[in-house]
Structure formats: C-alpha cells, structure tokens
A and B are shown apart, each in its own frame.
Chain A
C-alpha cells in the first residue's frame, strides 16, 4: 500500500470545501447536494483518509492479484450496529462497528483488509459527536490494520432511527489450507477463551443507567485479528473460532454442539470472570455466561494442542487471561453441560429471548 496522503494532496482538482459549520445534522445533509458532500468530506473522508477511499467513486477497486497474495479464498461479512448508549466505558458505536466486522473476518481465518461504512443518521444529531465517532472508527481501523474504503450516508427524519445506526461490511482473504467450521468439533477437542467474560454486556447494561449501578467495568471491545494471527501461527490445526457476542459464551457453545453433533462439558472453575462482573450479575440475578463480549473468542483445537493454543494467546496483550475452559464430548449431541464450582452439574442451554434481571 502506498503511503497515505491527505485527500487534498491526491485530488488537487477537487475544490477544497469549507467544511461543515452547523452544529447539528439536518435532512439537507442527506439530500445528495453540497451539504451532503460537506458532511462526507468533513466528517468521514477526513477521518478515514486513505488511497483506496480518496477517489470517491461509487465503488472501491482492488486488483485480484494483490488480494491473492494473502491466501486463496475471499471472506465477506456484514454487521449493523444499533447499540444504546452510543458511548460507553471502553468504547463507542464506531469502535464497535469496526471491531465487530474485523473480528467476524478474523475468526474465519481471514486477514481483514477493507471495510465499508454506511451510516443512517437521525436529523438533529450533533456534528461534533459524529466527528468523534468517525475518528474513533478511524483509530480502530488503523490499530486493526484495515482501511475504510467506501460507504454511504443517509439522514432520516426525527424518530425514524435512534440517533445513529452504522453498518460495516468487510472483506478479507483466508489463508490457504485453513478450514475452520462450527461443524468440525470432535470428542476430545479442547475449548478455550482468550480472557475474562461478560465485560461488554455488563458495561452496556450499567451504562444504560436505568439500573443505577455504579461500576468501573469497561467494554472489552477490541480488534482480535492480531491475537488470532498469533494463535494460528502457533496452532494452524485450530478447528473453529467464533466471537462470543450477543448471547455470550453459552450461545457459541450451543452452536458448536449443535453444528458438530457433539456434547460439550465446561468447568465453572475455569471460566474466567472479573470479580466486578460476578458482583454485577449477582445483584441482578443474571448469568454471566450469556452476557455479550466484544473482544473474546471461543476457540476449538485438538485436545493435545490445548496448552500450545493457550500459551500462544496468552503471549498477546488481548489474551493475557486465556484459559482452557472445557472439552468436547461424545454427547448427547447438542448438549452443553457445566461442572459447577460447587460440585454439581447443570445444563447450559440456549437463551430464550433476552436475559432479564430477576427479583427472585
């Protein structure tokens, strides 16, 4: 990739615009005219600023030969982000939008390369805030080594969306010879996670404010492609990875058990949880196994490579608290069981609906 130069240097023939001077986004900014160009240039292009984006055609273009240098399959994913509140301890909707898509590519064994960013803005949103989000996305993209190369901007009337919705789609190239899949788990395989569970879910719930709990818990939102590179290098025999987002660890385990037609047994003593997240869950009667994570993956490797995988992940800053939490069993197929710290066994089932705090 060529050195990134500012937009103005690459496209001297485009008239340098004044930028936005109003404080709030209005419907005019979605109208397709000058106001919209100003919004796009001033807020998004200025932040994302890279050679693939600079031409501002209707599409970004890449040479296939260049892509093929990284592997033999194209990976393609998309995610929409509607998180509330838009800002929370540890991140914001922008950071989340980049991490979510980068991670969806990385867990498939792909090197994430290019992202699109499409936004739907409710009229009245503060422009300064939008700039902040765009900068957050740019920083996260840079940290992840990806570029935002195309996108779309729409503005809708008040009430037609909740402040800001973001969609990111991404492409990456899958390394040759890697074949990851939820169906590949077999009895004897080890199951690992790269750190403390439940931080994001707890941070969001606390940040919404209606529970009036005061806590230092931060979202674990992070791009995991670097961690995953380290893991794959040490353990190319890895069979499956998935980020434990909505529905938490429990949901991913159930998905694996079902797709592979196997059983899974985990040990409660080995599931890493922050003390504060434990306290948070105890107060509300929530089960931390179902809380969302935005910087955690569930990894399935052949049993004899468990320690290799754990050590590799632990060597990376985003995997310091990596742990082997359990293993795959013969069955019954689709059943996930947890050995409780206390000594009993219980089933860890799929969630029905959303987990609600309880009084009993």
Chain B
C-alpha cells in the first residue's frame, strides 16, 4: 500500500484527462496528476517533483522540508562527533 517513488514531471500528455509524463531515473510513465494540480494551470506542474503511486502523482515533494530533514541529520552527526570527541578527551 505504500510503494511510492519520487519522479519529476517532464511533460503534460493529456490536459483534459489530467495526465502527465513523469521521469524516474530515465524511465517514463504516464501518471494522473489530479491530486497535485491545485489551482494552478496544468502546465505549471512541469518540473515538479512528485511521489508516484500506482500511476498517480499523490503529492508534490516539499524541497524545503526535505532539506530540513537532512539538515537535522547532518546536525545530529556533528553532535555525535562532538560527543565522541568529548568522551575520547575525557578518557585521555
């Protein structure tokens, strides 16, 4: 129920049926983008990174949130390094 993969919308294939072409590492598939158009003109969706599930784009990937999630992990890594360094110096 959960298999979804990020892909990029590269073209609109059928505006009336709300279908677009999505690219996943060079593999292309027609997907329905009804869930992600919102109030925009359909062409505005081109370039969006979306989560693709069974032929439907279900969500636009929030770049800022993605970056934030990774930043938290980088910080965590730095914090871990500091703690490890402190421990090591504590033993010295």
A and B touch in the complex (CB under 8 A): yes
Chain A contact residues, CB within 8 Å of chain B = 206, 212-217, 275-276, 278-280, 282-283, 285, 358-360
Within 8 A of A (CB), among B39-63: 52, 54
B5 to A282, Cβ gap below 8 A?
A: yes
Question: Nearest chain A CB to B9's CB is how many angstroms away?
Answer: 14
B1 to A360, Cβ gap below 8 A?
A: yes
B3 to A215, Cβ gap below 8 A?
A: no
A351–B8 Cα distance when bound, in Å, is 32
B26 to A283, Cβ gap below 8 A?
A: no
Q: Decide: A216 near B26, CB < 8 A? Known: A359-B3, A359-B54.
A: yes
- Not counting A283-B7, A283-B27, a sample of 18 additional A-B residue pairs whose C-beta atoms are within 8 angstroms of each other reads A212-B29, A213-B27, A214-B21, A215-B27, A215-B28, A275-B25, A276-B27, A278-B25, A279-B5, A279-B27, A280-B25, A280-B27, A282-B5, A282-B25, A358-B3, A359-B1, A359-B54, A360-B1
Residues of B contacting A: mostly: strand
Interface centre among B5, B27, B28, B54 (most CB of A within 10 A): B27
Interface range, B side: 10 to 19
Question: Nearest chain B CB to A336's CB is how many angstroms away?
Answer: 25
B30 to A279, Cβ gap below 8 A?
A: no
Question: Nearest chain B CB to A355's CB is how many angstroms away?
Answer: 14
A283–B2 Cα distance when bound, in Å, is 11
A279 to B3, Cβ gap below 8 A?
A: no
Closest 8 CB pairs of A and B: A279-B25, A214-B28, A276-B26, A279-B24, A279-B27, A215-B27, A282-B5, A275-B25
A212 to B26, Cβ gap below 8 A?
A: no
A230–B27 Cα distance when bound, in Å, is 34
Contact of B29 among A275, A278, A283 (CB under 8 A): A283
| Smallest Cβ-Cβ distance to A358: which chain B residue | B3
Sample of 11 A–B contacts (CB below 8 Å): A212-B30, A214-B29, A215-B26, A275-B25, A276-B25, A279-B5, A280-B24, A280-B27, A282-B5, A282-B24, A360-B2
